[in-house]
Amino acid sequence: MILYRLRCAKRHEFEAWFRDGAGYEAQAAKRAIACPECGSTKIAKAPMAPRLARGRAAAENAEAKPAPATQGAPQPGTTMVSVREARAALEALQKRIEQNCDYVGERFAEEARKIHYGEVAARDIYGETSDEDAAALADEGVEFQRIPWVRRRES
């Protein structure tokens, strides 16, 4: 397992674990990694300070010192789950959204603005929007959350 420090297009930084470097590269190429803060899938590795031991004495000294509490551990408020558990949670969330919110499709940004500025009655909505429109909404202070949408499994 390898821990990478990542940065999204909005410069939010976060950490993520991968099986190996190739695993990161494959997910990044598919844009399967999303920023937990804004949902952006434009992700790149952020600079990290490597921990290098120089010689045997330095290696022994490094092993003797406890690592900081946050190093190699999930960020506070982060829950580590299996892929199966994550998928089940996302499917349940998706079902609740579909049952309780109005689908506005590609008009999401337009409808979210109307609600934000009080032009229409407040209601819960979901739909799609471009990265550019999502960034503009965030800049305007419109509250929304990007959620990875799970493809339905064929039964």
Per-residue pLDDT tens over the stretch 61-116: 444 444 344 444 555 555 566 778 888 888 888 999 999 999 999 999 999 999 99
pLDDT of 107: 95
pLDDT of 55: 52
Q: Both 58 and 99 in a single domain?
A: no
Q: Both 97 and 129 in a single domain?
A: yes
Give me the number of domains the chain comprises.
Answer: 2
Higher pLDDT, 47 or 32: 32
The residue count for the chain: 155
**148 domain residue, yes or no:** no
Range of the domain at 127: 83-140
**Single residue among 31, 64, 97 that ends a domain in this structure:** 64
